[in-house]
Amino acid sequence: MLAKMTDRYVLLTGATGFVGSELVKQLSPQKLKVLGRSNPAIDDAIFCEAGIDGSSVYSAHLEDVKCIIHSAARAHIMNDTVANPLEEFRKVNTFGTLNLAQQAAIAGVKRFIFVSSIKVSGESTQTGKPFRHSDKPSPEDAYGISKYEAEEGLKKIAEETGMEVVIIRPTLVYGPGVKANFLSLVNLVRKRIPLPLGLINNQRSLVAIDNLVDLIVTCIDHPNAANETFLVSDDDDVSTTELLKRIGTAFVFKPMLLPIPRWALTIPAAMLGKKSVVDRLYGSLQVDISHTKHRLNWTPPVTMGQQLAKIADSFNSK
């Protein structure tokens, strides 16, 4: 006889990653298993040693699991040098995900939460025309394609087995410990370097790590989450210029933003082979999270200012 649902485990993949490590902090009241290649040594959690790929056998780790939160992935890489990036992404993001999900369904896991990516929706939006959960997916790069293929495979598994699937597509995630492009912006502001980015009028949706984790935890048991796709952001879109100003506010000083027109940056950037950097700084990517809010009766619990203040505190405490 199966234990009561409240007594069964949540299994988390990617526990050592940026999102997974924050999830661990919020999942402590749950009975928790963590699955991965290295043991993160989490108190009161059961470590399950296994990789995420198309051939691993997970049956021994799935006993008494009620829900899987799958946050492990081969991360998006700006300048990937492998011969076939799509095949490399597929190994983990597509084949690994579907292998785990198929075995989970066989083992009687009730719900599979997949942390996907807004890149499944596309790379950019026109200002005022945000992505919606019901839009036709339009991934453009290998990472986004691998996540989209995983989403489609998960929907098929749900239809065939009855296991509930929840798909979450975050926008750019930020918070203490963030790396890559967002960290670069923070460091530029912290160094008080004059930046020629004072005239950018785009719109970007971002999601605080605290808001993303809160949504994922909400989806563990929420009856309305089953077989849904949720877009997630702070519900507070900003331009790149405004974002830099808010980062400055978090560090208690005003950044030096020079009012330089886009063309004056595009020409030298193109000559240096960096036009794509300018395009990202000026491009828009908005999401409409009304479906997420209404379906789950959920609102982001943390403001952008509060999350940026946490980032500032993490630097000041070093």
Helices vs. strands in the chain: H and E counts, helices first: 11, 9
Beta partners for 229? Answer: 167
Helix axes 209-221, 18-26, angle to 10 degrees: 60
CB 74 within 8 A of CB 82: no
User: For residues 274 and 264, what is the distance between their CA atoms, to the nearest angstrom?
Assistant: 13
CB 232 within 8 A of CB 313: no
Largest CA distance in the chain: 69
Q: Is 165 helix (H, G, I), strand (E, B) or coil?
A: strand
Residue with tokens 């489609």: 152
**Per annotation, catalytic residue among 9, 143, 148, 174:** 143
What is the DSSP-derived secondary structure letter of residue 170? E
* Rg, the chain, Cα only: 20
User: For residues 82 and 85, what is the distance between their CA atoms, to the nearest angstrom?
Assistant: 6
How many other C-beta atoms are found inside a 10 Å radius of the C-beta of residue 264? 11
Judge whether 143 counts as a catalytic residue. Answer: yes
User: For residues 8 and 54, what is the distance between their CA atoms, to the nearest angstrom?
Assistant: 26
Beta partners for 173? Answer: 207
How many other C-beta atoms are found inside a 10 Å radius of the C-beta of residue 62? 21
Report the catalytic residues.
Answer: 143
